[in-house]
């Protein structure tokens, strides 16, 4: 299998990092191309990448921890925590988690939100809720920004502090987190490129926030993946809730909490992400403890070779 993967990635000029594992065994790991073209830093599974919307699984788990602790409830209306926004009276935490809130994908492009809650609350005043689309799955980064705010309200920590204390520190993830100041100090981080030019969208913004502000390495993501098989982060009861398919997207994919769940093979969970020239993808099968994690810093099309690999895997390797 490694020979097949090498041939595909080399022939298609893949630039990024990939790790494939099954249980405790790493089947394949390798970096291709440069993480930073200006310093000629090579890609590897130790390079720090922003992972875009894969961040949503970390946010969802934090919400479930607070629910398990009795601080929040899945059926709580968002209005309970943001009383200034009357349109949120009929939107629940559950709906935010599964993208069925009627909220838009993003804030308006002319609204810039930085990293404090006051600005987030102000920005939410510009957002309309399409009640006709409530209970219909429609992807919303705005919804996950609100979930990040709820984590702060429920825990008393900032979102990045809570992520660090409840996930990164217990798992020993030294190169992972959501703290953009700490991120900017790493020398071994990847820069995103679009059509060969460095992305100008490297800064963190609250409208990305809890929906896409997480960063990690391939090796550290694997630690996170293995931790999901234990009860160290949340109990089995709440893991079942996280990986349940609530909202169908297509005939074979639906939304769980922070994850897409395969409706035909519900033990297969996946998600993709994109931010600032960096594409990301994860697929896991809890029956076989299979994991494929890949990131590319060559833009939105960077993971096309990974699709070829996942197709081959799905034809018999990971089921």
What are 292-306's pLDDT values in tens digits? 999 999 999 999 999
Residue 203 sits at the vertex; the CA angle it makes with 201 and 209, to the nearest 5 degrees, is 105
What is the 3-state secondary structure of 120-162?
A: HHHHHCCCCCCHHHCCCCCCCHHHHHHHHHHHHHHHCCCHHHH
Is the predicted pLDDT of residue 317 greater than 50, yes or no? no
At residue 119, the pLDDT reads 78
Is the predicted pLDDT of residue 111 greater than 70, yes or no? no
Q: Which of 205, 247, 236, 79 is nearest to 150 (CA)?
A: 79
Is the predicted pLDDT of residue 11 greater than 60, yes or no? yes
Let me know how long the chain is. Answer: 319
pLDDT, average across residues 119-132: 79
Pick the CATH number of 2-317 from 1.10.10.10, 3.20.20.140, 3.40.710.10, 3.20.20.120: 3.40.710.10
At residue 318, the pLDDT reads 40
Mean pLDDT for the chain overall:
90
What are 175-220's pLDDT values in tens digits? 999 998 899 899 999 999 988 788 876 655 555 678 888 999 999 9
Share of the chain above pLDDT 90, in %: 69
The C-alpha atoms of residue 217 and residue 199 are separated, in whole angstroms, by 20
Contact (CB, 8 A) for 37 and 308: no
pLDDT band at 236 (very low <50, low <70, confident <90, very high): very high
What is the 3-state secondary structure of 289-316?
A: CEEEEEEECCCCCCCHHHHHHHHHHHHH
At residue 251, the pLDDT reads 87
Contact (CB, 8 A) for 33 and 43: yes
The C-alpha atoms of residue 99 and residue 296 are separated, in whole angstroms, by 26
At residue 208, the pLDDT reads 60
Other Cβ atoms less than 10 A from the Cβ of 253: the count is 15
- C-alpha R_g of the chain: 19
What are 69-108's pLDDT values in tens digits? 999 999 999 999 988 888 888 899 999 999 999 998 888 7
When comparing pLDDT for 319 and 37, which is higher? 37
Q: 75 burial class (0-12, 13-18, 19+ CB within 10 angstroms)?
A: exposed
289: number of CA atoms within 13 Å, CB side?
16
Is the predicted pLDDT of residue 114 greater than 60, yes or no? no
At residue 319, the pLDDT reads 41
At residue 113, the pLDDT reads 63
Q: Which of 36, 23, 91, 50 is nearest to 229 (CA)?
A: 23
pTM above 0.85, yes or no: yes
At residue 197, the pLDDT reads 85
DSSP state, residue 318: -
Least confident range from 36-50, 164-178, 197-211, 268-282: namely 197-211
At residue 86, the pLDDT reads 82
All structural domains of the chain with their residue ranges: 2-317
Is the predicted pLDDT of residue 118 greater than 80, yes or no? no
Contact (CB, 8 A) for 20 and 292: yes
Q: What are the phi and psi torsion angles at 215 (to 5°)?
A: -130, 150
DSSP 3-state of 276: coil
Share of the chain above pLDDT 70, in %: 92
Contact (CB, 8 A) for 267 and 285: yes
pLDDT band at 60 (very low <50, low <70, confident <90, very high): very high
Secondary structure of the chain: what % helix, strand, coil (to 5)? 40, 20, 40
């Amino acid at each position: 299998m490694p020979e097949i993967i090498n041939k595909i990635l080399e022939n298609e000029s893949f630039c990024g990092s990939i790790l494939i594992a099954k249980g405790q065994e790493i089947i394949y790991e390798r970096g291709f191309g440069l993480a930073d073209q200006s310093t000629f830093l090579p890609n590897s599974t130790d390079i720090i990448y922003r992972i875009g919307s894969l961040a949503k699984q970390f946010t969802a788990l934090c919400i479930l921890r607070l629910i398990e602790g009795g601080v929040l409830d899945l059926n709580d209306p968002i209005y309970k925590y943001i009383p200034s926004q009357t349109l949120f009276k009929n939107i629940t935490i559950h709906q935010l988690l599964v993208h069925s809130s009627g909220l838009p994908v993003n804030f308006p492009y002319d609204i810039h939100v930085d990293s404090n809650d006051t600005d987030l609350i102000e920005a939410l005043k510009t957002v309309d809720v399409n009640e006709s689309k409530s209970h219909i799955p429609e992807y919303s980064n705005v919804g996950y920004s609100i979930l990040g705010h709820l984590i702060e309200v429920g825990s008393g920590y900032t979102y990045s502090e809570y992520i660090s204390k409840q996930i990164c520190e217990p798992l020993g993830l030294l190169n992972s987190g959501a703290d953009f100041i700490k991120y900017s100090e790493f020398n071994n981080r990847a820069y995103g490129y679009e059509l060969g030019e460095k992305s100008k969208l490297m800064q963190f913004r609250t409208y990305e926030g809890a929906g896409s502000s997480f960063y990690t390495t391939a090796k550290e993501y694997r630690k996170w993946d293995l931790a999901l098989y234990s009860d160290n982060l949340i109990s089995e009861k709440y893991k079942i809730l996280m990986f349940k398919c609530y909202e169908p997207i297509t005939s074979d994919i639906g939304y769980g909490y922070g994850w897409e769940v395969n409706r035909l093979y519900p033990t297969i969970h996946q998600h993709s992400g994109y931010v600032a020239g960096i594409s990301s993808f994860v697929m896991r099968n809890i029956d076989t403890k299979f994991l494929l994690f890949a990131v590319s810093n060559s833009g939105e099309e960077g993971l096309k070779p990974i699709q070829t690999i996942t197709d081959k895997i799905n034809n018999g390797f990971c089921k």
